[in-house]
Amino acid sequence: MIILGVDPGLTRCGVGVIEAGAHRRLSFIHVDVVRSSPDQSQDLRLLAVYEGLSEKIERFAPDAVSIERVFAQDNRNTVLGTAQAAGMAMLAAAQRGIPVALHTPTESKLAITGNGKAEKAQVERMVARILGLNEPPKPADAADALAVAICHALRPQGALQGGEREQHLTPAQRQWAMAAQRSRRGGSGRNADRGM
């Protein structure tokens, strides 16, 4: 399964591509940043992000697109641009019939490190370790894109469905499931989540 992860942003939109094989074995394929110029008008910047993401989707033909969920921030302009960039990623995937998943930074941190409040540097080191890279990808947007792709690959199957399947989760998977449930209910810590 090929997963394309997106860390949405208007100036820098991180893109990471991995392959999830048997037994959750993950392989690195590609990482990059799609950029738009702050000197351009908003519509042209969004077009640049959309075209860049579309090119990546066409090139790697992912089975799923995993996007970091946008949370409220103090800077309204930043969150609006980030949300619009996320919309461009969803549109590019939907036009090609590719399933989209949204994951919070807390979910990504929990899936990768077992700690939903892990520091950024710790997440970056674990991304490199999981994918067998010599060093964390740069810039941070690229590492975050790989993190959200890894999160999608490692998410506990059926963890949010309840019932008998939930009884077989590991402690880390239970934490992941609880964090995911809180985020979907609009739980506390929303401003802190975007800090990844």
Q: Read off the CATH number of the domain in which 38 is found.
A: 3.30.420.10
Alpha-helical segments (H) within the chain:
42-60, 76-95, 105-113, 120-131, 140-154, 171-184, 190-193
User: What is the extent of the structural domain holding 51?
Assistant: 2-193
Residues 6+ apart with CB under 8 A from 143: 14, 16, 31, 123, 124, 127, 136, 137
Q: How confident is the model at residue 186 (pLDDT cuts 50, 70, 90)?
A: low
Residue 192 has pLDDT above 60, yes or no: no
* 155-158 contacts at long range (C-beta below 8 A, 24 or more positions apart): 155/103, 155/107, 155/111
pLDDT given at position 171: 54
pLDDT given at position 42: 94
Residues 6+ apart with CB under 8 A from 111: 103, 150, 151, 154, 155, 176
Q: Report the alpha-carbon distance of residue 136 to residue 77 in Å, rounded.
A: 29
Q: Is 19 annotated as a binding residue?
A: no
pLDDT given at position 185: 62
Mean pLDDT of the chain: 83
Q: Which residue has the higher pLDDT, 86 or 194?
A: 86
**Residue 13: helix, strand or coil by DSSP?**
strand
Q: Is 193 annotated as a binding residue?
A: no
Provide the whole-model pTM.
0.78
Q: How confident is the model at residue 116 (pLDDT cuts 50, 70, 90)?
A: confident
**Residue 29: helix, strand or coil by DSSP?**
strand
DSSP-derived letter for residue 69 is: P
Secondary element (H or E) of residue 15: strand 12-20
**Residue 160: helix, strand or coil by DSSP?**
coil
Structural domains in the chain (count): 1
Single-letter amino acid, residue 150: I
Chain centre distance of CA 79: 16
pLDDT given at position 74: 61
Q: Is 144 annotated as a binding residue?
A: no
Query: Which residues are marked as active site?
Result: 7, 68, 141
Q: Which residue's entry shows tokens 């947007």?
A: 141
Over residues 13-46, the pLDDT tens digits come to 999 999 998 877 999 999 999 999 999 999 999 9
